[in-house]
Structure 1
Amino acid sequence: MPARLRLAAALAFVGLAIPPAFADWDRPSLDKGIAKLERRTEGRLGVALIDLKDHKLWSWRGAETFPMQSVFKLPLAVAVLQQVEAGKFKLDQPITITRKDLSLFNSPIARQFKGESATYPVRDLIRLAAGQSDNTAADRLMREIGGPQVVTKMLRDGGIEGMSIDRYERQFQPEIYGLKGFGWNEVVDEQRFRADLRALNPELRIAALAAALKDKRDAATPEASARFLEGFAEGNWLRNPAHTAFLTKVISESKIGTGRLKAGLPPGSVLAHRTGLGLTTDGINHATNDIGIATLPDGRRFVIVTYLAGSRADAPKREAALAEAARLAVSALR
C-alpha cells in the first residue's frame, strides 16, 4: 500500500481526515460568498486569487473581460522599468511635460502646473503614475516608451494573453461615452469635456457606456491580471531586484483606494496594489477596481484581483464590496 494511503487508513482509524497534499482555497465558501456579494453590487464582479505559497488559483468570472481603468498603470510602470534595464532610459533622466501633455481627471502634475512646461525625472513620473494614479504622468510615460502597444507586447511576451492596453487616458476616457478623444496636438479642456458629456442625449450616453463595458480594449480578465501579479511578486518581470523593490514600495505606499481591498485585510497587513475608477453617469459606474499582492501579518502572501463593472451601487457600497471580497479571501485561505 502506498505511504499516503497507509497514512489515510491510520488517520481514519483514529477518526481524523487526511490533510490535502497541498493547501488550497476553500472553494465552496468563496463560490457562495462572492456570488452573494456580486448581487449586492448591482453590477458584474470579477475576482481572482492566487495563494503565493502553493500557487493555487480560484476565480469568479475569471475569464471574462473587464475595463481596467487605471489598473493599466502598473504594467505600464513595469514596461518603463524594462526599458530602463535595456538602457533606453535612466531613472534620473529628465522628461519635459508641456501644457499639451496635461491629461484628463486625476493629475497632481496638472494641478501644480504653471507656465508652459515642467520637468520630472523618470523615477518621479513612475511614482506619480503608479502610486498617485496621475493621468498626465501615465500618458507621458506611455508616449515616451512608444505607445500602448509596447505595454501589451510586453504582456504577450511574458505569457499574459488576457490584458490589453490600447489607448491613452486622454483618448479612452471620452470614448467610453461616445465622445471624441483628445489628440496629442491639442490642449485637453476638461471643462469642455464635462459640459459635452452632460449635454449628450442620455440614451446615447447609456448606449455608449453599455458598449464600453463590453469593449476588449483597455480591458483584462481577472485570471490574466492575477497571473501578471504573480509574476511580479516572484520578481519575474524585471531583471534588477532593486527595480522590483522600488515599484513594490511605490504601490504599497499608495493612499488611493484605502477603502477597497486594504480595508478588508487584517490590521498589520501590507497591500501592494493598483486601483482603477471610472465615472458614474446616469446611475451606472463604469468601473471600480483594485488589484494587488497582500501580505498578512503571519507572512502569508496572496494575489487578489477585483474588477467591478456597470454597478448601480453608490461609491461607498462599491468600495465596501471590494473590501468584503478581501475578507472572504483571507477567511478562505487554507
Structure 2
Amino acid sequence: MGGAGPIRRYRGRVRTEDLIARTFTSVGVTAGLHVVDVDDGREVGVEPDDQVVIASVFKILLVLEFARQVAAGQIDPAERLLVRAEDRLGGWGMAGCADDVEASLRDLAYFTMSISDNTAADLLMRRIGPDTLQLLAGELGLTRTRVTGGPRELLASVFADVGARTEAEFAEVFPTLPEERVRALRVLDPERTTSSTPRDITRLLRLIWRDEAGPRPACAMVRELMRHQLSWTRIPSGFPPGVHVAAKSGTLPGLHNEAGVAEYPDGRRYAIAIFARADRLDPRRIDVDLAMGEAAHAAVEALRAS
C-alpha cells in the first residue's frame, strides 16, 4: 500500500506533534499515537513504533479471523454454543450471568466487539483455533504484533503473578498490592504479553477498511461490528457530530488503549491507534480518555489541512 509519505513533509507537523504531546502531558500520560489516511497513506505519529501492550485491542484481529473463516465457509456463524459457569471470565457481559447461556458464534463476535466480553472472546478464540491469530498477523505484514494467548491465558498469568487461585482470592489480594508490584505484572509488559505497535495496528485497520485484510464480506463484517462498540469516551469523544468512529478499546491498570477509524461525511477515512500509559493505575480516568479523543482529532485535522 503506497502513500504520499509521512506528514513530516507538510507544513505544521511540529505544531501538531507539540499539541499532541502537551495534550498527553497535561493528564499525566505517555502515549504512542499513529494516524494514517486510509486512502493515500499520509500519516502523523508520536512514538508510533514503540512496542506496547494492546490488551483487548487484539480482539480486532480475533474477529477478523472469525469473519474470514465465515467467508471461507469453514464456520457457520449461526452455530450455537452453551456458555457454562466454567466458561465465564471476568469483565463485562456473560461473566455476570447467573445461569447457562446459549449464543451463536455471530453473537459472540458481537459481544466481543460491542462490550469487550472476555468470555465471548475466549469461546470464539477456542472455536477458530488459538494459533491462527499469529499466522494471520504474519500474513498481513504485522511484523511487530505478537499474540501470546486469549483472555483466559492472560487472566491466568495475572492470577499466577498475584498468587491467587480463584477470582475471590484475586479480588481480596489485588487491591492490597503496591503500585510497583502491579506494574511488574507480565500482562503490563509488552515483552511478555500480547503486544504490537501503533503503526502495526493502523496497518491492520487500513487493510480492513480497504477490503485487503481478507474477502470483502469478512472486512465488511469487522467494520460493522466495530461500529457497535458502546464505549465513546476515548477516540470518538474528540470528533464532532457527523463523523462516524468505529473503534475497539482495551484497558488494564494504568493503560488506556483504543484503535479505530474516523469516517468523515466527505468520504475521507483515517485509521487511528492510541496506546496511553498513565501515571496512576486507576482505570477510570475520564480525563485521559478525553485527551485521547482530543489528540486523535488534532492529528486527523493536521492531515485534512495539509
Common fold: TM-score over 0.5: yes
Q: Alignment partner of 1:159: what SS?
A: coil
Partner of 2:249: 275
Shift of 1:289: 0.9
Alignment CA distance shift 1:297-1:203 (3 Å):
closer
TM-score, length-scaled by structure 2: 0.88
Q: Alignment partner of 2:162: what SS?
A: coil
Q: Alignment partner of 1:303: what SS?
A: strand
Q: Say which of 103, 107, 117 aligns to 1:124.
A: 107
Q: Say which of 124, 128, 152 aligns to 1:141.
A: 124
Q: Say which of 152, 155, 174 aligns to 1:197.
A: 174
Residues 151-187 of structure 1 show CA distances to partners (whole Å, capped at 9, x for unaligned) of 12101111111222212223324635823687xxxxx
Alignment CA distance shift 1:47-1:96 (3 Å):
same
Q: Alignment partner of 2:275: what SS?
A: strand
Q: Does 1:53 align with 2:39?
A: yes
User: Is the 2:157–2:187 Cα contact (8 Å) retained in structure 1?
Assistant: no
Shift of 1:121: 0.9
Partner of 1:298: 266
Partner of 2:95: 110
Residues 181-229 of structure 1 show CA distances to partners (whole Å, capped at 9, x for unaligned) of 87xxxxxx433321121344x2662452488344352111001111111
User: Is the 1:265–1:330 Cα contact (8 Å) retained in structure 2?
Assistant: no
Q: Alignment partner of 2:78: what SS?
A: coil
User: Which deviates the most, 149-158 or 243-252?
Assistant: 243-252
In structure 2, what residue type is equivalent to 1:34? I
Q: Alignment partner of 2:274: what SS?
A: strand
Q: Does 1:175 align with 2:157?
A: yes
In structure 2, what residue type is equivalent to 1:164? R
User: Which deviates the most, 261-270 or 308-317?
Assistant: 308-317
Distance between the aligned counterparts of 1:76 and 1:48, measured in 2?
21
User: Number of aligned pairs?
Assistant: 295
User: Is the 1:288–1:318 Cα contact (8 Å) retained in structure 2?
Assistant: yes
In structure 2, what residue type is equivalent to 1:132? I
Residues 219-272 of structure 1 show CA distances to partners (whole Å, capped at 9, x for unaligned) of 110011111111011011221x3332232122112212x111111012111111
Distance between the aligned counterparts of 1:35 and 1:176, measured in 2?
31
Q: Does 1:330 align with 2:304?
A: no
Distance between the aligned counterparts of 2:37 and 2:21, measured in 1?
20
Alignment CA distance shift 1:37-1:204 (3 Å):
closer
Distance between the aligned counterparts of 2:179 and 2:270, measured in 1?
42
Distance between the aligned counterparts of 1:233 and 1:73, measured in 2?
16
Structure of higher CA gyration radius: 1
Residues 91-140 of structure 1 show CA distances to partners (whole Å, capped at 9, x for unaligned) of 1111222211101122x1222341xx332111101001012210000011
Structure-to-structure mapping, 1:34-53, within 5 angstroms? 34-53=20-39
TM-score, length-scaled by structure 1: 0.81
Alignment CA distance shift 1:211-1:272 (3 Å):
closer
In structure 1, what residue type is equivalent to 2:227? S
User: Is the 2:6–2:43 Cα contact (8 Å) retained in structure 1?
Assistant: no
Q: Does 1:86 align with 2:72?
A: yes
Which structure 1 segments of 5+ residues have no match? 1-20, 183-188, 280-284
Distance between the aligned counterparts of 2:257 and 2:210, measured in 1?
23
User: Is the 1:291–1:304 Cα contact (8 Å) retained in structure 2?
Assistant: yes
Distance between the aligned counterparts of 1:210 and 1:332, measured in 2?
36
Distance between the aligned counterparts of 2:48 and 2:102, measured in 1?
41
Distance between the aligned counterparts of 1:134 and 1:154, measured in 2?
22
In structure 2, what residue type is equivalent to 1:140? L
User: Is the 2:248–2:260 Cα contact (8 Å) retained in structure 1?
Assistant: yes
Distance between the aligned counterparts of 1:245 and 1:330, measured in 2?
23
User: Is the 1:41–1:317 Cα contact (8 Å) retained in structure 2?
Assistant: yes
Q: Does 1:321 align with 2:304?
A: no
Partner of 2:205: 229
Distance between the aligned counterparts of 2:239 and 2:179, measured in 1?
40
User: Is the 1:66–1:219 Cα contact (8 Å) retained in structure 2?
Assistant: yes
Q: Alignment partner of 2:101: what SS?
A: strand
